[in-house]
Amino acid sequence: MFSLQKVFGRNELFFDLLEQSASEAREAVDLLKNTLSNPGRVVAPLDEFALLRKKDKRITEEIREALTQTFVTPLEREDIEALSIALYKIPKTLEKFCERLLLSPERFTTVDFSRQTYLLEQATETVLRMTRGLRSNPGLESMKEQNQRLQHLEGEADKLMVELLRSLYAGKLDPVTVIALKDLYDLLEKVIDRCRDAGNVVFYIVLKNS
């Protein structure tokens, strides 16, 4: 076990920024749920996702700028940057999903994305909890358990993807809808992968400092 605060002092700027970025990822999933509950609202969700992603991009840029101006950082510089980039990719990918969804929302009015959004809620909440844990004394075993949870969620997403593809290829939908849905399913699965990537970075940081 280790205490980053004791080793590196009380400079918490980077912890604050990383936690904000992880919170934006979690908020993006809530926005996704609201969008899916009313896919007919075309303009507002796109604007909201764009604003959220731009806000997270500013956080990422602030982290990068702070890295160039700070002599002593609470984590290794490359680790801070790697986690920052991994977190930013989560809302960015969700914005892409929303863009594709709202190109032709009438095609997806009967499509149920609830199982994917549940996995996304669990994954982003775990990433947020892991990121917050970096501030104090998380303990290697605690982080390992949470990272394993992310691996489990990714496995569940993979199994769900196979099930959804089997349904798509059953021939009950028109070809355009099949192509569009496969694209949407791929993007949601990619978000889970982004969460796994962020969790791996956090676990690597803890492992390296244990």
Which of 94, 153, 93 is closest to 123 using CA atoms?
Answer: 153
| Residue-wise DSSP of 39-71 | TT--HHHHHHHHHHHHHHHHHHHHHHHHHHH-S
Report d(CA 160, CA 72) in Å as an integer: 44
> What pLDDT, on a 0 to 100 scale, did the predictor assign at position 38?
72
pTM of the predicted protein model: 0.88
DSSP state of 106: G
Cβ atoms of residues 76 and 45 within 8 Å? no
CATH number of 4-209: 1.20.58.220
pLDDT in tens, 79-91: 999 999 999 999 9
32 burial level (CB within 10 Å; 0-12, 13-18, 19+): buried
* pLDDT computed for residue 109 by the predictor: 84
CA 208/CA 7 separation, integer angstroms: 14
Residue 2 has pLDDT above 60, yes or no: no
How would residue 7 be classed by pLDDT, with cut points 50, 70 and 90? very low
The answer to whether 165 touches 145, Cβ cutoff 8 Å, is no
Per domain, the residue ranges of the chain are 4-209
Contact status, residue 98 vs residue 37, Cβ threshold 8 Å: no
* Residue 44 pLDDT exceeds 90: no
pLDDT score of 103 more than 50: yes
pLDDT at 11: 65
What digits encode the pLDDT tens for the residues 177-191? 999 999 999 999 999
